[in-house]
Structures are given as C-alpha cells and as structure tokens.
C-alpha cells in the first residue's frame, strides 16, 4: 500500500474510535461534570505558574501533583496509540510549531514570545475530562501569533455553538473550517475531536473540517470534545521520531483549544470551563 493511501485510511477511520456512541446515564453525567470541572481547575492552576523561564517539565510536574492530590489519575500517562511508545507524561505541552502531543521536558524552558498549548485529561472516579488552552509567554508574542491564538479559540467556540441537540456532528467542522479558512489559516486534518467518558477516545469522531457525510446525530447523553488545531500556514502535519510530537509540515505556528461537552435534554453543557472563563466575542 502506498504511503498516501495508508494516510487516507487512517484519517477517515481512526481505528481506536470505532464502535457505537455511548450515551451516559444521569449518574454518569454527574461524574463527567466533576471530571470536567477538575480538568478546568488544573488549567487554571497551570495559568498561575505560566511565565517565561518555566520549563514544560515543571508544568507537567504541577499537573501530576494536583491530579494525584485529588485522587485522580492522568489519562495521557502511559497512553498507547497506533504503535507509538506509551506516552511518558501527565499532560501534553505543544510549543510554537508543535500542533499537539508535545512531550513535556525539564530542559525545554519557555521563552518570552513562545506560545504553548497545555492539554490535560484527568480521570476522576472513572471518567475523563479533556481540555486544553494555548498560552502566550511574556510580552514579545508577535501580533500574528496573538491573532492566531485568539482565532483558534474563536474557532472552538464557533464549533461549540454549532452543536444543536438533534443536529449533526458535521455542523461543527463546517463552522470551524469556514471561519478559519476565510482568515487564511490551515485546519489540521490528521487529529480530531472524539467521544469521551469512561474511555479516553471513543466514537464519534469530531472532524474540524467539512466532511462529505452528515456525521452522527447529536442526542442527549453524548459527551465529546471539540479541539481544533489551527495553523498559520498549511494544515499538513508530521509526527517526529518520538512517535508522538506532531508538528506543522511547513514549520508554521499552530494553536489549539479544547473543551469537553455534554449534551442533555436541556441543551449543551461545556464541562471543562475555567473559573473565570466566558466565551470570546465571536
Ligand atoms: N488530550 C489529547 C486529546 O485531546 C490526547 C493526548 S494523548 C497523549 O485527545 F497520549 F498524547 F497524551
Ligand atoms: Co481530546
Ligand atoms: Co486533550
């Protein structure tokens, strides 16, 4: 099989997200609310130590400590996927042209002008809360990078507002792609949002770009993430030799924001909000 065909198959049918969509019972929904709230708290705590001079390894240590203090575990730690070695850390730290799955490292000191995404997924009482934010380091982040980070956040929220009970998951990708491409950005294709709950990654796959099908019908009890990765340049990514770190193929900057959502009879809940978080002006 040629490389091209292999890639296409992987993109259209992520093997680890097969199976049926799970619908959570009211008790399970409460457990998801708690896990989501804790994930949001973790990023609020990360915000407090974020400054030039901090290493991504120190960010990881903080996530590990707070997670264990709460009696929770970190889903990324030891996570296995598509033949890569087990993920070695408690969160992902993706700096500048790293799109996602960057591995924290105490030798990787963040500098004024960097942007870094921190992605956490605690498992609390058996349920996953999955969320990420992209942080600006210091005063010297370029205007283009600031705009990219703000627009990636707007892309996430446009995706969230495209979720309608009894609607289709495909509305999410359409909203995100239309917004991002109109501004000249690339929308990453190789990584997607996903159902989550007792398992980290489940059906449905949430695409951040237009898909030919209509996707899954959105019904009460579904929990899934939206996590668009938006590039200043082309959407294409490459995975480094460590088997995890995904970078933009053209070296351009990339930004990502992620929330876990729960759909109920009442509507859509964003489970992983930070303490002071409100949707951006859209
Ligand atoms: N948190 C990531 C996501 O949003 C997945 C990280 S898997 C890891 O789905 F192994 F890299 F941590
Ligand atoms: Co996720
Ligand atoms: Co995540």
| Domain formed by 11-270, architecture | Alpha-Beta Complex (3.90)
Instruction: Name the closest-CA residue to atom 4, ligand 1.
Output: 130
Partner residues linked to 267 by β-bridges:
264
Atom of ligand 1 nearest to the CA of 191: 9
3-state helix, strand, coil in the chain (%, to 5): 30, 25, 45
Cis, peptide link before residue 218, omega less than 30° from 0: no
How crowded is residue 233: how many other Cβ atoms within 10 Å of its Cβ?
16
Cβ of 121 less than 6 Å from ligand 1:
yes
Sign of CA dihedral 199, 260, 132, 236: positive
Structural domain spans, the chain: 11-270
Rounded Cα distance between 245 and 243, Å, is: 7
C-alpha distances in angstroms, 108 versus 111, 141, 230?
9, 18, 23
pLDDT by residue for the chain (282 residues), tens only, comes to 333 333 333 443 444 566 889 999 999 999 999 999 999 999 999 999 999 999 999 999 999 999 999 999 999 999 998 789 999 999 999 999 999 999 999 999 999 999 999 999 999 999 999 999 999 999 999 999 999 999 999 999 999 999 998 899 999 999 999 999 999 999 999 999 999 999 999 999 999 999 998 999 999 999 999 999 999 999 999 999 999 999 999 999 999 999 999 999 999 999 999 999 999 998
What is the whole-number distance in angstroms between the Cα of residue 92 and the centre of ligand 1? 7
Q: Report the predicted TM-score, pTM, of the whole model to 2 decimal places.
A: 0.94
């Amino acid at each position: 099989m040629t490389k091209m065909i292999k890639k296409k198959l992987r993109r259209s049918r992520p093997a680890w997200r097969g199976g049926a969509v799970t619908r959570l019972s009211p008790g399970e929904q409460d457990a998801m609310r708690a896990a989501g709230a804790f994930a949001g708290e973790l990023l609020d705590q990360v915000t407090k130590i974020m400054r030039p001079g901090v290493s991504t390894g120190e960010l990881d240590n903080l996530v590990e400590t707070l997670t264990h203090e709460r009696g929770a575990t970190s889903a990324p730690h030891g996570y296995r996927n598509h033949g890569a070695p087990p993920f070695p850390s408690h969160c992902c730290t993706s700096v500048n042209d790293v799109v996602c799955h960057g591995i924290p490292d105490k030798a990787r000191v963040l500098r004024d002008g960097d942007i870094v995404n921190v992605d956490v997924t605690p498992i609390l009482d058996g349920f996953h809360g999955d969320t990420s934010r992209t942080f600006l380091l210091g005063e010297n982040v370029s205007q283009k990078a600031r705009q990219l980070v703000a627009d990636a956040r707007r892309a996430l929220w446009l995706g969230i507002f495209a979720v309608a009970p009894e609607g289709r998951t495909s509305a999410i990708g359409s909203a995100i792609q239309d917004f991002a491409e109109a501004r000249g950005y690339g929308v990453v294709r190789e990584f997607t949002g996903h159902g989550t709950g007792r398992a980290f990654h489940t059906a449905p796959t949430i695409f951040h770009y237009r898909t030919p099908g209509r996707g899954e019908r959105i019904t009460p009890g579904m929990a899934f993430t939206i996590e668009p990765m938006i590039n200043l340049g082309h959407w294409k990514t490459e995975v480094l030799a460590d088997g995890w770190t995904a970078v933009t193929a053209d070296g351009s900057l990339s930004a990502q924001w992620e929330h876990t959502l729960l759909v109920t009879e009442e509507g859509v809940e964003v489970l992983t909000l930070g303490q002071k978080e409100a949707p951006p002006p859209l």
